[in-house]
Structure 1
Amino acid sequence: MINFNEQIVDDFRSYMLLEQGRSDHTVDGYVRDVLQFERFILFKDFREVDSKDIPLFIRYLSKDEGLQHRTTNRKLSALKTFYKWLRKEKYIEVNPTEGMQGAKAKQGLPQPVDLEDIDLLFAAIPEDDLRAKVMIEILYGTGARRFEVAKIKIRDFNFNKKTIRLLGKGNKERIVPINDFALTLVKKLMNQLGKDAIYLFPSRQYPNRCISTRRINEIVTFYVNKAGLEGKNITPHKFRHSFGTHLHEGGVDLKYIQAMMGHEKADTTNIYTKVSSKQTSTVYQNAHPRALRS
């Protein structure tokens, strides 16, 4: 009986990080969910799990643990990813999660950061902390995900076209406009880093590696608190919501916003192919609050 042995879990972790390009945060969460399921099924080998075990696990999480649909759906997603990988690697012949759907959760509207609070936040960052200024300018100015910001390389900027290359989920690339003010700060930061720099935000401990997403959280939280905005629940991901909301409020069509944010749902994929980078740049420069100030 090998259960979910350590080597299999490590291989699954590597698959999500290297092949799927998932963030450290997501990978850690999926691994925890898989190990929680292992504890639930007790002595069963992972190859013995059938389609009845997983609904029992979800029901346990919902009824006994009192978890909301959003959380149980995430755990189901983790198991679906795990068993799809096991099937791909030929550890199993039948995927017990095949065809399973999560519960429908109520969709709450994302709450953006108020423009006044964004101004307060930027004002709280001193001139000599250029890294923090650039980081938050990019988070809010491009709608980039936290892990996308962490992986930005020096070569990802095109200063002539005023764009930045972002590497999203599944290592899917997109080109996003960036405003003049942010680019000016980026150039200053690059000068500080030196000609041998690879990443825009290198790890302080390991310069040839990128900053961790956890460190990005810490930097944002530090300045949120310094600006006196502790109770506003301002996170890196909330800047992404703010980016989309403020562009929409500025009159930008949803198809441009979806393209810039990298929302690749099945029903919008065809729309993205019709959006030119020139059109996207124009609507961005005419609508985003940080672009309008530069």
Structure 2
Amino acid sequence: MTDQHVKAARAPVESVALIDAFLETMVAERGAAERTRLAYRADLEDFARWCAPLSLADVGRSKVQAYFADQGRAGISARTQARRLSCFKQFARFMLQMGVRADELTAGQVSPRYHSGLPHPLSEEEVRRLLDKGTSGHADLRRDLLSRVALEMLYTTGLRISELLSLPATCVRHRGGMLPVRGKGGRERLVPFSSAAREAAEALLAYDAILDSPWLFPGRDPRKPLTRQGFDKILYACAVKAGLDPQRVSPHVLRHSFATHLLNRGADLRALQVLLGHADITTTQIYTQVMTERLKEAVRQHHPMGRDGEAGEPEAQG
């Protein structure tokens, strides 16, 4: 089916109804966020249009294979294909559990391999520079206060940016040195909250008291939190002030730096899983894989027998 035909086709009504039921189940059982639901709907409806006029309840497994072959020919990245297959697998299990199908639609479909794509972490010295020099000297005092608390919290807690920006103003009232966080799927966890981050947060809240906002990081409309786009502009300015390449500094880089620095200093992988809010330990293990590759590279570059062609068994003498 050509791209024009796909765009012209509409997902069968039966398929749309199944997708709606699946997404409702995701909300009820997993507390799936709106952003997740929108992404899943887009992926599933794209597949449903591709399969039209057949309903997703009736298509064969060969359709899944043909769809991903078509995706590859269209230049869709392996990462995107892997994400879509993950979505389809969950949907396939849903149809099986609901008795809509007697088989699992995606059984046997292999996920395309792709590089993990983890960003390169900042060094500990670079983080210190970002916190010391990047959070002062802005156009106004409030920007200094906001920058300080945001960067302190991102680096010392490993929060996702969505978790950070959705923190309520009341979060600093939680005592015991722990910060309550609501993560993906509505899962709650407690993460250590440094005294420096708490003091910075309290200073920001005191400055913002007149706004009477329910959020720790209010947006232009105090009734709403700061947007991701608004935060990116602030982080960009912080990186410039610290003399760092802004392209290397992002919320995810700071989260990755938090995890990497903890592992470098001997943190337990299970503890890191809890801190990062990963539902599955395999997600956390990717950090150890990255560190293993870096250790191998360090040996190759710096050990006298580590370079290619220099290590290994000696050649047989003639």
Which consecutive unaligned segments of at least 5 residues does structure 1 have?
A: 270-294
Larger RCO, structures 1/2 (Cα 8 Å, 6+ apart): 1
Give the 5 Å matches for 1:243-282: 243-265=258-280
SS in structure 2 opposite 1:52? helix
> Which residue is 1:165 aligned to?
180
Question: SS where residue 142 of structure 2 aligns?
Answer: coil
Bigger radius of gyration among the two? 2
2:111 pairs with 1:102: yes
Equivalent position to 1:52, from 62, 85, 108: 62
Aligned letter for 1:114? S
Cα separation, 2, equivalents of 1:218 and 1:23: 25
1:136 aligns with 2:151: yes
Paired with 2:161 and 2:234, the residues of 1 have a C-alpha distance of 12
CA–CA distance in 2 between the matches of 1:259 and 1:78?
A: 24
SS in 1 for 2:57: helix
Q: 1:8-47, aligned counterparts within 5 Å?
A: 20-22=30-32, 25-47=35-57
Residue 100 (structure 2) aligned to one of 65, 68, 92: 92
Output one character per residue of 1:12-33: Cα deviation in whole Å (capped at 9) or x when no partner: 6666567534455544433332
Alpha-carbon displacement from aligned partner over 1:204-243 (angstroms, at most 9, x marks no partner): 3361x44444444444345435555446432211111100
Q: Structure 1-normalised TM-score?
A: 0.73
Quote the offset at 1:172 in angstroms.
1.6
**Residues in 2 aligned to 1:82 and 1:216: alpha-carbon distance in whole angstroms:** 34
52-61 or 151-160, which deviates more: 151-160
Contact 1:24/1:213 (8 A) holds in 2: no
RMSD: 3.5
- 2:134 alignment partner, one of 106, 119, 124: 124
Contact 1:21/1:168 (<8 A) preserved: no
What displacement does 1:35 show? 3.2
Residue 201 of structure 2 corresponds to 186
Give the TM-score of the pair, scaled to structure 2: 0.68
Contact 1:3 1:44 in 2 (8 A): no
Residues 223-234 of structure 1 mapped to structure 2, 5 A cutoff: 223-225=238-240, 227=242, 229-230=244-245, 232-234=247-249
Whole-angstrom distance in 1 between the partners of 2:122 and 2:282: 28
What is aligned with 1:283? none
Whether contact under 8 Å (2:157, 2:275) holds in the other structure is yes
Q: 1:174 to 1:49 in 2, by over 3 A?
A: same
1:60-71 matched pairs, under 5 angstroms: 60-62=70-72, 64-71=73-80
